[in-house]
Amino acid sequence: MAFAVRLPSRYSQDSNLDHSEHTMSIPSRLCLALAGAILSFSAIAAADEPYTLVQGKHGAISTYGSGSDNEELDRLKRTSIGPFLWFRDHGKSYVIEDRALLARADAAWKPVQALGQEMSALGKQMGEQGRQMGKLGREMGEQGRQDRAGEAAMTAKARQMDQAAKPMDSLGKRMGELGERQGRASKEAERATRVLIDEALRTGQAKPVQAG
């Protein structure tokens, strides 16, 4: 049985419009709400599905999601003659090989790659600084096991340790800043990649992956 929801009387008095224009049954409203929920869930599911941007036969530039099919990707690397973007949409695998779209994807991820390289170089500096501090710590431990004649040397080592810790603090702060920037750049690259994936699906430039 359908129950009608009517608008307040001020909308119906002296009106020539059909009352059906002002009413909608509860089942109809529920159907519309359910359809909207299904569409929203579908969009969320698609946004969470994986993709991998591959440069030739030498591995991935960027991978999103945990459902990437490594076996399928390895097969595509062997059979493709150039770079490609592999992705899943509602469980179905596709590949994009259009050079213009791939150039856009590559451009979207370049800032992330550059920041990653900078973080890697900074990490090496932090590693070297950490090794120096470790060496000083071992020397201080050795001095601590000696008699009081080693107190002056112990004090000197402590000063060296304090000096060595200062660059580490600066490097750590710099690493944190780079990490925040990379996080923002990754979100923007992710958004841009999803946009071009949607475009490729609409225009037919995304080709279904044939089973191997």
> 71: helix, coil or strand?
helix
pLDDT band for 78, please (50, 70, 90 cuts): confident
The residues that bridge with 89 in the sheet, in sequence order, are: 92
Q: What is the pLDDT of residue 19?
A: 42
Q: Does the global pTM surpass 0.85?
A: no
User: In which residue are the tokens 């994009």 written?
Assistant: 96
Q: How far apart are the first and last CA of the chain?
A: 53
Distance in angstroms (rounded) separating the CA atoms of residues 208 and 122: 41
Per-residue model confidence as pLDDT tens digits over 6-58: 334 443 444 444 444 444 455 554 444 433 433 333 333 345 788 999 876 66
pLDDT band for 64, please (50, 70, 90 cuts): confident
Does 135 have pLDDT greater than 60? yes
Q: What is the pLDDT of residue 107?
A: 93
